[in-house]
Chains A and B, each alone.
Chain A
Amino acid sequence: MAPAVPRSGDAIFANVERVNAELFTLTYGAIVRQLLTDLEEVEEVNKQLDQMGYNIGIRLIDEFLAKSNVTRCVDFRETAEVIAKVGFKMFLGVTASVTNWDTEGTCCSLILDDNPLVDFVELPDTCQGLYYCNILSGVVRGALEMVSMKTKVTWVRDMLRGDDAFELQVKLLKQVPEEYPYKDDE
């Protein structure tokens, strides 16, 4: 039986069910506003958004693997490319580019062309320090953890805070393949 060919992000995105983009933006905005009301502290909201994203990411990864037919990535460079070109396209409908690789190949930046979460959004002065899109960093972290990669994902540039782009830094901390307890000395 011939192995399944990996599908492009565009092809998958074209085949999923559609929802109104504004409903998506409004729903996310409502979540952030509610968290700000409930938690009051901007740092707490950042943490909570990241946690929510993590809970989404751990489930989303299997959906991604099932629909896109990607095979195991050879190295972290390939992983980053797959996230940027297939992952973001498939779920958010936007492409990202991968830049700023460090010398060891364990840290890179994903720059989003577009960000549907922030349509129509402006941060007020009372919310300086809020990473509005922090859910995305949680999603990437959660998804990668399920495929044995412990990562640190942070926003380097955020257009809502005055920068010129959305740049997400993904740093691979360590690979943790499933250990099977068959060592004799245990």
Chain B
Amino acid sequence: MAAIYSLYIINKSGGLIFYKDYGLQGRMDTNDSLRLASLWHSMHAISQQLSPIPGCAGIELLEADTFDLHCFQSLTGTKFFVVSEPGTQNMENLLKHIYELYTDYVLKNPFYEMEMPIRCELFDINLAQAIQKDRVSYLGR
């Protein structure tokens, strides 16, 4: 029973660079995940235009009946968003932590090309540990 259903990372042009599924439905088809990522990128951009006040940072939380979507955008335009069970707490902290893992294990890898899909084993390992730790603390409440 996972609190988190899936994690996506989008580069600044809206392309999906990382997708991990933790739910029971199984991994989404690659084309579908790419489509979803660019849809979210567009929605996020439009939300900034819709804001009545200038300087909007875009959608941070989307609440639906069966899931919540938490999104974090860095000042460099990279978006990290997680689809979780409704009412899951602490997702902003998790996203910030994943951002730190990204800056460490992806960006500091000299063989990682910027804006390209992430294929860094160290990132996967540390991400799994972070999600596991979050799951443990969630179950412990």
Contact = CB atoms under 8 A, between A and B. Distances in A.
Contact of B12 (A1, A4, A72, A178): A178
Identify whether the interface residues of B are mostly helix, strand, loop, or mixed: helix
B50 to A, nearest CB: 11
A62 B12 CA distance: 13
Interface residues of B, number: 21
B78 interface: yes
B126 interface: no
A66 B75 contact: no
Identify whether the interface residues of A are mostly helix, strand, loop, or mixed: helix
Interface string B55-73: 0000000000000000000
A59 B114 contact: yes
User: On chain A, which size bracket covers the interface?
Assistant: 10 to 19
B137 to A, nearest CB: 15
A59 B108 contact: yes
Interface string A147-186: 1000000000000000000000000000000101010000
Given A62-B74, A178-B77, 19 more contacts: A4-B96, A58-B114, A59-B103, A59-B107, A59-B108, A59-B114, A62-B76, A62-B99, A63-B107, A65-B74, A66-B99, A66-B103, A67-B100, A67-B103, A72-B75, A147-B75, A180-B46, A182-B45, A182-B46
24 contacts: A1-B92, A59-B107, A59-B114, A62-B78, A62-B99, A62-B102, A62-B103, A63-B103, A65-B76, A66-B74, A66-B99, A66-B100, A66-B102, A67-B100, A67-B103, A72-B75, A146-B76, A178-B45, A178-B77, A180-B42, A180-B45, A180-B49, A182-B46, A182-B49
CB-CB nearest 5 A-B residue pairs: A59-B107, A63-B103, A180-B45, A62-B103, A146-B76
